[in-house]
A and B are shown apart, each in its own frame.
Chain A
Amino acid sequence: MIRFENVSYNYPDGTPALRNINMGIKKGEYIGIIGKNGSGKSTLSLHLNGLLRPQKGKVMVRGMDTGDFSKLQGIRKIVGIVFQNPETQFVGRTVEEDLAFGPENLCLPPMEIRRRVDRALAETGLEKYRYHSPKTLSGGQGQCVALAGVLAMEPECLVFDEVTSMLDPDSGKAVLERVKRLHEKGKTIVYITHNLEELHAADRIIVMDRGRIVLEGKPENVLSDPSLRDLGLTPPSLIELAEHLKNHGVAVPWEKTSSPSNFAEEICRLFLKM
């Protein structure tokens, strides 16, 4: 659905942000992208719907080239991005007005805009905040409004760019749950983060460092890869514990490392079997 072909991009000061990236994203896939700050992961996300355009190579979204200005509006209908800071994504004075912003830009008729806004409100459970100012909401709810604003454009692919880094752990978990449900409903998900704990549910993880893809694969392989620490990333502590236990003959399967209670349940089961 989205294809990067030999994409390179330099920051205005000349330092390379992306170096010859080749990758593809299939419809319905759930992809996690990790890397520390400056690894190029955010630059990559901005290429997904033509907010940045490659200086070399090209990015194709469903056969449309992001370098073609006449296709940009069409591309943004397909790929929507939720950004890190909810406060700088609000353009409306009420939640409802904010959600209408995208559909209004697509020049939809008023009836259709209403329908989409109502649907996005229902999908995110924000109906009761319809007339609230987005600024009076908590960080987690704010991120929900930002997500609803993108959903109102009814994109096929949703990109999340470090959306939990300003949130407290509980709101972060709620956002992650929402992402998982959207994936189950068939949306293509690109989830960018530097918190490895959040990528358990992904189909595939891409690790970036200094503008390159340095590691790619299924989460069970990537998250326990010893080279992560060298890249300045901390593996989830439960996965680390599972790795150590495996060396001592206690094999906790990958699926059970997703939460403390699953992990404990599995250990109990293993001990009872002994």
Chain B
Amino acid sequence: MQEPVFSYVPGVSFLHTLDPRTKLAAVMLLGILVFRTESFFGIGALFAFFFALASFTGLPVGVFFRAVRPMLLFIIFIFLAQLFFTEGRVPASFWILQPSIEGLQNGLRLSVRFILLLLFAALMTASTDPSAITCGIERILRPLPLHWLGVNSFELATMMNLSIAFLPLLFERVERTKAAQASRGMYFGRNPFHSVPALVIPLIRGIVRDAEELALAMESRGYQGTRRTSMHELLMQKRDWVSLFALVSFAALILRF
């Protein structure tokens, strides 16, 4: 069993009560901010901002840092790539590797930016009911002319919900098929041409069957891929507008430096 990452923790904090659209907009804005901020002072300020928000939720900070863990290898890779492939002053070289001071700065900046982005995203997912997030996205997308792409915002939102809901089922299927084939003497590492089909074919067949059953169950419950309502009432309240205003001012401030 994997520890849940990016999961919702029910609560009543200030962040919990904000409209999901406010939080979505905030994450987007903060995302832009994170990548536009060049100075280490600005990044420091963003970190301080994160800790301030995190303390609002009343949750231990570790919850959010858990979201960074699965991406850690990727972040280290970026850091090393920047470190060794940025041209600049080379204080000491090791064999063919030539770390540069500029590389160190770039690497640090880039990896810290990724970490910040993940932290802010984790902040949103921990304080927002997942279905409210999709509902918020659906509302934001609704005015867009998506029908040109052959979809509508309702379908997109349902699709997002389903794909997240179906991940555990998929993992379970992988485990079952792996156990069955291993019992027939298959070793996974040795010959991928041999083992990949034995794993992938039952998996795809299974997923298709699951999907067919799911489609029937959905249709039976009245799903038509057209307009539908939501259990969550979305209402932009005063505190949403105030928070957004405060955030925009904060962003302007940071970008000035």
A–B: direct contact at CB < 8 Å: yes
| B3 proximal to A (CB < 8 A) | no
Residues in A whose Cβ lies below 8 Å from that of B161: 91-93, 97
Question: Which chain B residue lies CB-closest to A97?
Answer: B131
Within 8 A of A (CB), among B224-256: 224, 227-233
Contact with B along A120-135 (1 / 0, CB 8 A): 0000000000010101
A92 to B229, CA, bound (A): 15
A162 to B18, CA, bound (A): 44
Given contacts A104-B229, A110-B232, contact A135 B169 (CB under 8 A): yes
Contact with A along B159-192 (1 / 0, CB 8 A): 0011011001100000000000000000000000
Nearest CB of chain B from residue A66's CB, rounded to whole Å? 12
- Whether the Cβ atoms of B222 and A106 lie closer than 8 Å is yes
| A270 proximal to B (CB < 8 A) | no
- Whether the Cβ atoms of A105 and B131 lie closer than 8 Å is no
Q: Which of A5-13, A72-80, A224-232 participates in binding chain B?
A: A72-80
Residues in B whose Cβ lies below 8 Å from that of A91: 158, 161-162, 165, 214, 217-218, 221
- Whether the Cβ atoms of A51 and B220 lie closer than 8 Å is yes
Contact with B along A84-113 (1 / 0, CB 8 A): 010111111110110011111111111101
Nearest CB of chain B from residue A77's CB, rounded to whole Å? 7
- Whether the Cβ atoms of A107 and B10 lie closer than 8 Å is no
- Whether the Cβ atoms of A76 and B220 lie closer than 8 Å is yes
| A191 proximal to B (CB < 8 A) | no
Nearest CB of chain B from residue A184's CB, rounded to whole Å? 24
Chain A at the B interface: mostly helix, strand, loop or mixed? helix
Partner of B165, one of A77, A90, A131: A90
Q: Which of B222, B227, B232 has the most CB of A within 10 A?
A: B222
Residues in B whose Cβ lies below 8 Å from that of A107: 227-229
| A150 proximal to B (CB < 8 A) | yes
Partner of A101, one of B10, B129, B130, B221: B221
Question: Which chain B residue lies CB-closest to A117?
Answer: B231
Residues in A whose Cβ lies below 8 Å from that of B168: 133, 135
Question: Which chain A residue lies CB-closest to B227?
Answer: A107
- Whether the Cβ atoms of B216 and A104 lie closer than 8 Å is no
Contact with A along B195-223 (1 / 0, CB 8 A): 00000000000000010011011111111
Nearest CB of chain B from residue A202's CB, rounded to whole Å? 22
Partner of B216, one of A51, A87, A150: A51
Nearest CB of chain A from residue B218's CB, rounded to whole Å? 6
Partner of B10, one of A110, A131, A149: A131
Question: Which chain B residue lies CB-closest to A104?
Answer: B228
| A4 proximal to B (CB < 8 A) | no
A96 to B10, CA, bound (A): 13
- Whether the Cβ atoms of A80 and B213 lie closer than 8 Å is no
Residues in A whose Cβ lies below 8 Å from that of B227: 107
A102 to B221, CA, bound (A): 5
- Whether the Cβ atoms of B217 and A83 lie closer than 8 Å is yes
Residues in A whose Cβ lies below 8 Å from that of B218: 91, 101
- Whether the Cβ atoms of A89 and B214 lie closer than 8 Å is yes
Residues in B whose Cβ lies below 8 Å from that of A192: none
A101 to B221, CA, bound (A): 8
Question: Which chain B residue lies CB-closest to A134?
Answer: B165
Nearest CB of chain A from residue B7's CB, rounded to whole Å? 9
Partner of B220, one of A49, A96, A113: A49
| A46 proximal to B (CB < 8 A) | yes
Q: Can you list 30 pairs linking A and B with CB atoms under 8 Å apart?
A: A49-B220, A73-B224, A76-B220, A80-B220, A80-B221, A83-B216, A83-B217, A85-B213, A87-B210, A88-B213, A88-B214, A90-B165, A91-B162, A91-B218, A91-B221, A93-B164, A100-B131, A100-B230, A102-B221, A102-B222, A103-B229, A104-B228, A104-B231, A105-B223, A105-B224, A105-B228, A106-B222, A110-B230, A110-B233, A150-B221
What is the interface of chain A, defined by CB distance below 8 A to chain B?
Answer: 46, 49, 51, 73, 76-77, 80-81, 83, 85, 87-94, 96-97, 100-111, 113-114, 117, 131, 133, 135, 146, 149-150, 153
Q: What 9 new A-B contacts, CB under 8 Å, besides A87-B169, A91-B218, A110-B231?
A: A73-B222, A88-B210, A91-B158, A97-B129, A104-B230, A105-B222, A107-B228, A113-B229, A135-B169
